């Protein structure tokens, strides 16, 4: 048991179960199947974006441009419609959105690796540029999403909401690749200890740039799903995901100081946060309080291990 | 007083010891680095400490210097017990010239010396440097430490330690990068200090130097102090045997039988960065040693053989194959490499033994890219048994192993790939005697089995015991080749000394690398940014004559002032080597607070209200500082959390814009002095004051030193923790002031104002040329950055450009400036 608790995903799961129990006691309605199934799509969207953030953090970075890319993808699948509304066009728009995300990620990654600018400054600046694009392309107005995307986002496969299903598949896939393949091992080493990777002949830069590209695609995918779900996404919808994606990573018990994290734990963290948000609202608080709680959780999440460490060594 | 602590000269008997180490122990995880060390140093004597790599010398010094806290035992300086704080220890009169100079790279030579003595004048500084070394290593006082050569860095390090006029002076491998003339100059200084009654502790692995200047010698081995005697009572052989712990023959395997078969590795006229024209052919059964003073190209040569450093000309043939460039190709050709820094380059400490061993041959343990857990485990267990690694299972994390076992894991990983060439840089750095023997035997076994083995080592005894043939490097070339009976420590040292001439190219380069004072100064961007701002305004005026008016200029000045304050808040944190994402929301929060406290009927008066706002903002800064410093949390995460949290608070207090600020307050803030807004005058004065503090006051120097290299700052006794907290407090305070001014500008408690100031503050700081990783920045240049941004924003509507452009231009400017400065300041490559 002690050993199990050393693994991030089990700790994250334990924390989630604890939260569900507390939620069940103080607001029983929040754990009814209907409420849970209602928040699954949102948990899925956060999880998809958080995997992207996870990849970048594992390469010693952090991607603030999640907000911009998320919003930009939503704009692409809403403002770019011809009016015909065909499935084929919708697929094209989704492809374009993902490609845009990849492009932003590529620019981020190259600036970080080639020019040696710290990730935070790169992505904070990129975020501003991308929001400029959001405003320019949307003309400053929110519009309605392409219908096939709305239908897809709202549909279920064997009872599971599609956004959540996408998250499940992606979490499983990324976790598998990272922990079970030679590629994943090289990726991990490139992030944990780039110099070791270089001395072993791994293509460290490729993995670092790759992480930003992957993140860009995943942020865009989350934006597309969000657009589909909310029908008329606000232009700044992505802003909420700036802290939330980092929070999901941290709440999953993953360390921000260059240790190996667990994608599964990040996924569970995303669910934890989404449920917590629901709980806060069902207790009658508004989104402002949700911000505060999210901030508190991140601070607690990162401080507790550090405090525990100090107590242990003291 | 024990017999072996007897001082040498009778005169010293009367004086009490200047330094007493009493029963010092120190462990790192499972590794006992020091096992109860007693040591005394008297005024006016040179006490040498010898021991091989990893014997515990550095740990001992760090304990004495207050850099590390011993687990048990006490350190007394001049009869007083010292607490483990570098600052206090230095004040008590002990200073250390560290083996790896504890310099702040972004500070100048003069400033580095002033960190040790605040009121040092340039002429005194020059005098210090002249006392330490010869003209050959002279340096300009205004050169940044980062631009010094290795040897110059050592000179500065010794001068810095000397600057605080210590009563106890510890030299840790001071002569490592020096040639003979510098060594003699230094010994002259040591004799002077000795005559003045300084207690000197001298650590070196160069035995002949130790025998030349030491009054007493202590031998350290595996964390134990084995013996202390007057130097004259030791013969060199005796010391060597004491250092190694047993006669050399028992540690090292017998030398090899050199075969006559085909050459295993042929290197023909190989040149690359740091070395040139090296040829070498390795025959079966022999181990080649690369020796030389630190930094003579031997390491660069070895790394070129591994394919890590590119060659510029010449050939490398493994058997008859010529590997293509790139480490991966060299490994495929059968070249294995054990780097000297196993923590940085060798092993991934947070992974298990199994995973680390697997990294060596991922292709062999996977099918179509899918790892086979079973084959990885088998591989690891086989290496584990073969190298006799002491760890319960292969699932142990490598970081928890002792140095010796880590080294075995690393060498095992490389041996397991069945290499044709095995390159080992420092085979036993930080490795205990028992493991050393195992490692030497393994290397010999590899040579016997037909693998070309090349070893680079700074330890002459190790080369002597292990190698069949030695290439001695100097200034990038092989100056001597030793074989047979000539392979010994004395001959290697002799060859090192005979290699005449001034140092390698790096010293000559130092002059060439010095950029002109204007381009390298921290204020340079200010001039450029002011010009650019004038340009933007001029061009806009030319396109749209309605642009320039007293009103628009005043508005630009006011907005520049607010942004400058926000950017100063950011600059504090960036100089210390962090980032403060919460600057914007904190300014917004101050606006919201102002809307409650500075309305028409202020509850605590205007001054009281403003003070409350400032106190609250400063408290937020303090919270950031404490979380970052006390709990060692990354600043990004802490301030990303408060970034969201503060926005939440603002929204709770003012869900929608409400609460008008009083006209009186707004008018006061918007007052003009002649044609100029009062706040602009205030900010200019503040900028000049802050700039003076940053560059001319000890606290400013300390802040830059901490940001430049935190570890070094701590080692030389700067109060890093306090300075970090102070930087965040300053950040909170300045954000508060910015918020008060912004409130007067906005006039209402709006919950979302201010947020955009996070990006704009970063942009202004980056435009101002601050180094984002810390250590460099300028308030003046940041103010100019703010001016540039506000000029652009003010010009946009007159050019018929919308807010889209504001986003794109500010983001783009950040990108370009950050990329440009980071390229400009890349460490210049030494010319070859």
Give residue B512's pLDDT: 41
pLDDT mean across residues, chain A: 91
Question: B358–A185: do the CB atoms touch at under 8 Å?
Answer: yes
Q: How many degrees, rounded to 5, is the angle at CA B542 between CA B539 and CA B547?
A: 90
Question: A200–B360: do the CB atoms touch at under 8 Å?
Answer: yes
CA distance to partner chain A, nearest, from residue B67 (Å): 17
The 10s digit of each residue's pLDDT in B219-260 is: 998 889 988 999 888 887 788 788 877 776 678 899 888 878
Secondary structure letter of residue B134 according to DSSP: -
Query: What average pLDDT does this structure show over B558-569?
Result: 97
Give per-residue burial for B368-377: e unless 16+ CB within 10 Å, then b.
eeebeeeebb
Question: A121–B329: do the CB atoms touch at under 8 Å?
Answer: no
Percent of chain B with pLDDT over 90: 67
The 10s digit of each residue's pLDDT in A221-261 is: 999 999 999 999 999 999 999 989 999 998 888 887 778 89
Mean pLDDT is highest, among A209-223, B64-78, B445-459, B511-525, for A209-223
Greater pLDDT, B56 or A131: A131
CA distance to partner chain B, nearest, from residue A88 (Å): 31
For residue A135, list chain B residues with Cβ-Cβ distance below 8 A.
Answer: 802-804, 807
Question: B811–A181: do the CB atoms touch at under 8 Å?
Answer: no
Question: B640–A133: do the CB atoms touch at under 8 Å?
Answer: no
Question: A201–B328: do the CB atoms touch at under 8 Å?
Answer: yes
User: What tokens does B333 get?
Assistant: 């050709």
DSSP string, B356-382: HHHHTTTTTTEETTEE-HHHHHHHHHH
Question: A295–B648: do the CB atoms touch at under 8 Å?
Answer: yes
Lowest mean pLDDT among A32-46, A144-158, A294-308, B596-610: A294-308
Closest among B782, B683, B730 to B583, alpha carbons compared: B730
Asked whether residue B1 carries a pLDDT value surpassing 60, the answer given is: no
Q: E strands along A181-246, which residues?
A: none
- CA separation for the pair B565, B647 (Å, rounded): 20
Q: Which domains does chain B have, with CATH numbers?
A: 1-85+209-246 (3.40.50.300), 256-334+419-504 (3.40.50.300), 344-418 (no CATH), 568-755 (no CATH)
Query: What average pLDDT does this structure show over B60-64?
Result: 92
Greater pLDDT, B538 or B14: B538
For residue A249, list chain B residues with Cβ-Cβ distance below 8 A.
Answer: none
- CA separation for the pair B201, B172 (Å, rounded): 8
Best B356, B411, B637 residue to mutate vs chain A (most A CBs within 10 Å): B637
Residues 6+ apart with CB under 8 A from B140: B109, B514
Question: A250–B643: do the CB atoms touch at under 8 Å?
Answer: no
pLDDT mean across residues, chain B: 89
CA quadruple A188, A194, A195, A199: dihedral sign: positive
Percent of chain B with pLDDT over 70: 94
A28-313 in CATH: which number?
1.10.3470
CA distance to partner chain B, nearest, from residue A158 (Å): 30
Lowest mean pLDDT among A42-46, B390-394, B680-684: B390-394
Chain centroid, CA B258 distance in Å: 44
Q: Are A117 and A98 in contact (CB under 8 A)?
A: no
For B638, name the nearest residue in chain A, comparing CA atoms only: A299
Give residue A259's pLDDT: 82
CA distance to partner chain B, nearest, from residue A172 (Å): 15
For B329, name the nearest residue in chain A, comparing CA atoms only: A201
For B346, name the nearest residue in chain A, comparing CA atoms only: A196
| CA distance to A119, B275, B568, B733, per residue, from B760 (Å) | 17, 47, 11, 18
**What is the value of pTM for the model shown?**
0.89
Query: Using 50, 70 and 90 to split pLDDT, how confident is the model at B508?
Result: very low
């Amino acid at each position: 048991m002690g050993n199990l608790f050393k693994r991030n995903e089990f700790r994250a799961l334990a924390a989630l179960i604890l939260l569900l129990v507390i939620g069940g006691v103080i607001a029983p309605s929040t754990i009814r199947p209907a409420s849970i199934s209602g928040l699954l799509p949102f948990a899925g969207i956060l999880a998809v974006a958080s995997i992207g953030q996870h990849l970048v953090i594992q390469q010693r970075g952090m991607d603030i441009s999640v907000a911009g890319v998320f919003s930009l993808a939503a704009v692409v699948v809403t403002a770019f419609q011809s009016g015909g509304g065909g499935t084929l066009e919708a697929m094209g728009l989704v492809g374009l959105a993902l490609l845009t995300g990849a492009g932003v990620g590529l620019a981020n990654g190259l600036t970080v690796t080639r020019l040696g600018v710290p990730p935070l400054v790169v992505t904070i600046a990129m975020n501003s540029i991308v929001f400029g694009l959001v405003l320019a392309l949307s003309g400053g107005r929110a519009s309605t999403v392409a219908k096939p995307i709305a239908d897809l986002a709202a549909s279920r496969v064997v009872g599971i909401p599609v956004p959540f299903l996408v998250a499940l598949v992606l979490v499983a896939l990324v976790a598998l690749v990272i922990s079970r393949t030679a590629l994943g091992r090289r990726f991990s080493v490139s992030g944990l200890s780039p110099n070791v990777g270089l001395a072993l002949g791994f293509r460290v830069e490729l993995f670092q740039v790759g992480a930003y590209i992957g993140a860009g695609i995943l942020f865009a995918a989350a934006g597309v799903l969000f657009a589909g779900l909310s029908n008329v996404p606000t232009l700044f919808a992505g802003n909420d995901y700036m802290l939330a994606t980092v929070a999901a990573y941290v709440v999953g018990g993953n360390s921000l100081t260059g240790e190996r994290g667990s994608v599964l734990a990040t996924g569970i963290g995303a669910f934890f946060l989404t449920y917590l948000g629901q709980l806060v609202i069902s207790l009658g608080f508004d989104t402002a309080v949700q911000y505060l709680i999210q901030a508190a959780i991140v601070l607690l999440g990162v401080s507790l291990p550090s405090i525990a460490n100090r107590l242990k060594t003291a | 007083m024990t017999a072996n602590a007897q001082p040498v000269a009778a005169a010293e008997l009367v004086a009490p010891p200047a330094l007493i180490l009493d029963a010092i122990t120190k462990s790192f995880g499972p590794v006992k680095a020091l096992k109860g060390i007693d040591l005394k140093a008297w005024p006016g004597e040179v006490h040498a400490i010898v021991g091989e790599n990893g014997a515990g010398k550095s740990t001992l010094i760090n304990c004495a210097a207050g850099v590390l806290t011993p687990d048990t035992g006490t350190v007394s300086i001049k009869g007083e017990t010292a607490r483990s704080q570098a600052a206090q220890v230095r004040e008590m009169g002990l200073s250390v010239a560290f083996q790896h100079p504890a310099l702040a790279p972004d500070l100048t030579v003069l400033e580095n010396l002033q960190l040790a003595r605040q009121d040092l004048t340039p002429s005194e500084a020059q005098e210090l440097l002249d006392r330490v070394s010869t003209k050959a290593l002279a340096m300009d006082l205004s050169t940044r430490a980062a631009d010094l050569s290795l040897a110059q860095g050592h000179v500065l390090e010794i001068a810095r330690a000397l600057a605080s006029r210590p009563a106890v002076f510890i030299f840790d491998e001071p002569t490592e990068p020096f040639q003979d003339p510098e060594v003699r100059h230094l010994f002259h200084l040591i004799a002077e200090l000795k005559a003045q009654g300084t207690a000197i502790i001298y650590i070196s692995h160069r035995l002949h130097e130790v025998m030349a200047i030491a009054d007493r010698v202590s031998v350290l081995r595996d964390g134990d102090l084995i013996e202390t005697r007057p130097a004259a009572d030791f013969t060199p052989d005796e010391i060597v045997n004491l250092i190694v712990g047993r006669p050399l023959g028992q540690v090292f395997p017998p030398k090899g039988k050199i075969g006559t078969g085909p050459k295993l590795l042929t290197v023909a006229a190989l040149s690359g960065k740091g070395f040139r024209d090296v040829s070498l052919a390795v025959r079966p059964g022999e181990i080649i040693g690369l020796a030389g003073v630190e930094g003579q190209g031997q390491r660069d040569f070895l790394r070129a053989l591994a394919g890590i450093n590119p060659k510029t000309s010449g050939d490398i043939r493994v058997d008859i194959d010529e590997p293509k460039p790139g480490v991966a190709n060299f490994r495929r050709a059968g070249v294995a490499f054990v780097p000297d820094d196993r923590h940085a380059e060798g092993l991934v400490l947070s992974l298990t033994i199994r995973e680390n061993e697997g990294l060596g041959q991922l292709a062999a343990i996977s099918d179509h890219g899918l790892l086979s857990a079973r084959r990885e485990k088998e591989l690891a267990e086989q290496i584990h048994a073969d190298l006799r690694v002491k760890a319960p299972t292969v699932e142990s994390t490598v970081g928890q192993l002792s140095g010796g076992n880590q080294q075995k894991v690393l060498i095992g990983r490389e041996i397991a790939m069945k290499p044709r060439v095995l390159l080992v840089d420092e085979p036993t750095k930080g490795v205990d005697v028992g493991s050393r023997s195992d490692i030497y035997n393994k290397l010999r076994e590899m040579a016997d089995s037909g693998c070309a083995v090349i070893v680079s080592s700074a330890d002459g005894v190790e080369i002597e015991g292990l190698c069949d043939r030695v290439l001695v490097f100097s200034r990038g070339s092989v100056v001597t080749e030793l074989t047979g009976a000539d392979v010994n420590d004395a001959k290697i040292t002799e060859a090192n000394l005979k290699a005449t001439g001034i140092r390698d190219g790096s010293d000559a380069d130092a002059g060439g690398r010095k950029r002109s004072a204007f381009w390298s100064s921290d204020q340079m961007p200010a001039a450029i940014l002011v010009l650019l701002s004038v340009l933007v305004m001029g061009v806009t005026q030319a396109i749209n004559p309605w642009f320039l008016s007293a009103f628009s200029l005043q508005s630009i000045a006011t907005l520049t002032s607010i942004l400058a304050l926000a950017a100063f808040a950011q600059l504090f944190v960036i100089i210390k080597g962090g980032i403060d994402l919460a600057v914007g929301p904190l300014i917004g929060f101050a606006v919201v607070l102002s809307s409650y406290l500075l309305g028409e009927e202020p509850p605590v008066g205007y001054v009281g209200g403003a003070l409350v706002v400032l106190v609250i903002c400063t408290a937020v800064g303090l919270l950031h500082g404490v979380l970052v410093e006390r709990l060692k949390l990354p600043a990004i995460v802490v301030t990303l959390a408060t970034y969201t949290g503060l926005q939440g608070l603002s929204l709770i207090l003012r869900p929608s814009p409400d609460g008008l600020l009083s006209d009186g307050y707004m008018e006061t803030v918007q007052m003009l002095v002649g044609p100029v807004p009062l706040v602009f005058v205030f900010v200019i004065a503040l900028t000049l004051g802050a700039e003076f503090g940053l560059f001319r006051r000890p606290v400013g120097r300390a802040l830059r030193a901490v940001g430049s290299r935190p570890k070094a700052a701590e080692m030389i006794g700067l109060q890093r923790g306090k300075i970090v907290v102070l930087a965040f407090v300053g950040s909170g305070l300045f954000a508060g002031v910015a918020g008060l001014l912004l409130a007067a500008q906005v006039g209402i408690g709006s919950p979302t104002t201010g947020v955009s100031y996070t990006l704009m503050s970063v942009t202004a700081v980056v435009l101002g040329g601050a180094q984002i990783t810390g250590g460099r920045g300028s308030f003046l240049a940041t103010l100019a950055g703010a001016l540039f941004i506000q000029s652009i924003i003010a010009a946009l509507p007159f050019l018929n450009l919308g807010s889209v452009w504001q986003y794109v231009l500010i983001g783009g400017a950040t990108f370009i400036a950050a990329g440009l400065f980071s390229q400009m300041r890349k460490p210049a490559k030494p010319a070859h």
